C-alpha cells in the first residue's frame, strides 16, 4: 500500500502545481488548450503504442477480452436504465440528455489512462486503452446522437487515441518488437503522460467560479452516480463473478477504476457545439472533477485492499 499512497501524494503535488501555475498566470486558457492538444495528439498515443511492446501472453489477451466485454455491458446497461428512468421526469429535455451523458461517460482517456499507467505500467495502460476504445464506440454513436439529435459522423472515430489503441492491439499480438532504442525513446515521451494530465487538471480547477458551481442539485446526483454508485455496482458485480470464474486483479481493477472517473470533457465540447444545456454540462463535469480528488483515491485504495492485498 505504500506505493499507492506515494501515487496519491504525486497526484496532489502535480494538481497543486497546475493550480499554482494558472493562478500565477504562467498558464492561461491558450496554454491549457495547447497542453491538451499535446497530451491527446502526441504524448498519450505514444504511451499507448509503448504499452504493446512487452511479451505476448494468452492471459493478457483474456484480460483484453474481459475488459472489452465488461465495459461494453456497462455502457449498454447504464444507458438503457438511465434513459428508461429519466424518460418521464420533469427535467428539461436538454438537461436530461446532458444528465445521461455526464453520468455514463467518464473521462477515460484524459484521466483514466494516465492513472492506470501509473498503477500498473504498460499492461494497465493497454487495458485502459481497450476500455477507452469501447467508450469511443458508444460515445460517438449514442452519446453524440443524444446531445445533437443527429446521426454521428464516422470522422468522429478517427482520432489519435483511437487509432493508437487499435494499433497497440495489433502490435501486441504480432511477434515483432521494436528495437530497444525506439522503445526507450517512446518511453521518454510516455513518461510525461501522468504529470502532464495532472497539471492540466489542476490548471482547470484554478479557473472555476466557485460561487456558481454548487447551485444545481442535479449536478450532485450526477456526481453520486458517476463517482459512487456505478463503480460500487461494478465492484459488486465483479466480486460475484469471481466466485464462478477466475479474473486477474489488474482486469478487475481496470474495470472498476475506469468506471469511477469524473465525467468526460467531450460531453462539454458536444453540448456547446449543439447548444444542449452547455452551462449545466460544464458545471456538472467540473463538479465531478472536484469530488474525484476525494472519491478516486478512496476507490483505488478499496480496489487494492480487496483484490491485491486480500
For residue 1, what pLDDT band results from cuts at 50, 70 and 90? Answer: low
Q: Cα–Cα distance between 268 and 291 in angstroms, integer?
A: 18
Mean pLDDT (whole number) for 203-222: 83
Q: Cα–Cα distance between 281 and 149 in angstroms, integer?
A: 16
Asked whether the predicted pLDDT for residue 272 surpasses 60, the reply is yes
Look-up of cell digits 510516455: 190
Per-chain mean pLDDT for the chain: 86
Percent of the chain with pLDDT over 70: 95
List the Cα angle 250/188/159 in 5-degree steps: 70
For residue 310, what pLDDT band results from cuts at 50, 70 and 90? Answer: very low
Look-up of cell digits 481497450: 130
The total number of residues shown for the chain amounts to 310
Asked whether the predicted pLDDT for residue 4 surpasses 70, the reply is no
Nearest residue to 186 (alpha-carbon basis) of 136, 125, 110, 253:
125
Mean pLDDT (whole number) for 197-214: 80
The DSSP code sequence of the chain is -HHHHHHHHHHHHHHHHHHHHHHTTSS-HHHHHHHHHHIIIIIHHHHHHHTT-S---HHHHHHHHHHHHHHHHHHHHHHHHHHHHHTTSSS-HHHHHHHHHHHH-B-IIIIIHHHHHHHHHHHHHHHHHHHHHHHHHHIIIIIHHHHHSSPPPGGGG-SHHHHHHHHHHHHHHSS----HHHHHHHHHHHTTHHHHHHHHHHHHHTT--HHHHT--HHHHHHHHIIIIIHHHHHHHHHHHHHTTS---HHHHHHHHHHHSSPBPHHHHHHHHHTTSSHHHHHHHHHHHHHHHHHHHHHHHHHHHIIIII-
- Please, are residues 260 and 296 in contact by the beta-carbon 8 Å criterion? yes
- Please, are residues 177 and 37 in contact by the beta-carbon 8 Å criterion? no
Q: Cα–Cα distance between 103 and 97 in angstroms, integer?
A: 10
Give tens-digit pLDDT for 51-68: 787 777 888 888 999 999
Mean pLDDT (whole number) for 233-237: 93
Question: Environment class of residue 141 by beta-carbon count within 10 Å: exposed (0-12), middle (13-18) or buried (19+)?
Answer: middle
Question: Environment class of residue 98 by beta-carbon count within 10 Å: exposed (0-12), middle (13-18) or buried (19+)?
Answer: buried
Asked whether the predicted pLDDT for residue 3 surpasses 70, the reply is no
Asked whether the predicted pLDDT for residue 45 surpasses 90, the reply is no
Q: How many CB atoms lie within 10 A of CB 131?
A: 28
- Domains, the chain, with CATH or none: 2-309 (1.20.1530)
pLDDT value of residue 302: 87
Amino acid at each position: 500500500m505504500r506505493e499507492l499512497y506515494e501515487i496519491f501524494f504525486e497526484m496532489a503535488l502535480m494538481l497543486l502545481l497546475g493550480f499554482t501555475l494558472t493562478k500565477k498566470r504562467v498558464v492561461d486558457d491558450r496554454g491549457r488548450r495547447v497542453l491538451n492538444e499535446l497530451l491527446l495528439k502526441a504524448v498519450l498515443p505514444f504511451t499507448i503504442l509503448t504499452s504493446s511492446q512487452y511479451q505476448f501472453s494468452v492471459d493478457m489477451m483474456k484480460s483484453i477480452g474481459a475488459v472489452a466485454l465488461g465495459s461494453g455491458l456497462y455502457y449498454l446497461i447504464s444507458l438503457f436504465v438511465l434513459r428508461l428512468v429519466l424518460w418521464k421526469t420533469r427535467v428539461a429535455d436538454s438537461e436530461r440528455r446532458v444528465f445521461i451523458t455526464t453520468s455514463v461517460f467518464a473521462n477515460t482517456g484524459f484521466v483514466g489512462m494516465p492513472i492506470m499507467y501509473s498503477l500498473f505500467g504498460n499492461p494497465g495502460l493497454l487495458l485502459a486503452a481497450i476500455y477507452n476504445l469501447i467508450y469511443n464506440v458508444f460515445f460517438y454513436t449514442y452519446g453524440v446522437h443524444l446531445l445533437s439529435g443527429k446521426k454521428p459522423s464516422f470522422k468522429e472515430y478517427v482520432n489519435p487515441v483511437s487509432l493508437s489503441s487499435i494499433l497497440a492491439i495489433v502490435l501486441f499480438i504480432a511477434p515483432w518488437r521494436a528495437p530497444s532504442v525506439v522503445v526507450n525513446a517512446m518511453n521518454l515521451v510516455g513518461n510525461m503522460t501522468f504529470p502532464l494530465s495532472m497539471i492540466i487538471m489542476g490548471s482547470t480547477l484554478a479557473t472555476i467560479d466557485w460561487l456558481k458551481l454548487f447551485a444545481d442539485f442535479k449536478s450532485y446526483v450526477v456526481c453520486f452516480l458517476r463517482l459512487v454508485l456505478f463503480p460500487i455496482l461494478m465492484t459488486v458485480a465483479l466480486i460475484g463473478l469471481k466466485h464462478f470464474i477466475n479474473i486477474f486483479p489488474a482486469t478487475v481493477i481496470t474495470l472498476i477504476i475506469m468506471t469511477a472517473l469524473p465525467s468526460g470533457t467531450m460531453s462539454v465540447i458536444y453540448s456547446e457545439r449543439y447548444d444542449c444545456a452547455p452551462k449545466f454540462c460544464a458545471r456538472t463535469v467540473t463538479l465531478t472533477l472536484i469530488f474525484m480528488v476525494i472519491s478516486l483515491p478512496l476507490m483505488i485504495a478499496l480496489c487494492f485492499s480487496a483484490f491485491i492485498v486480500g
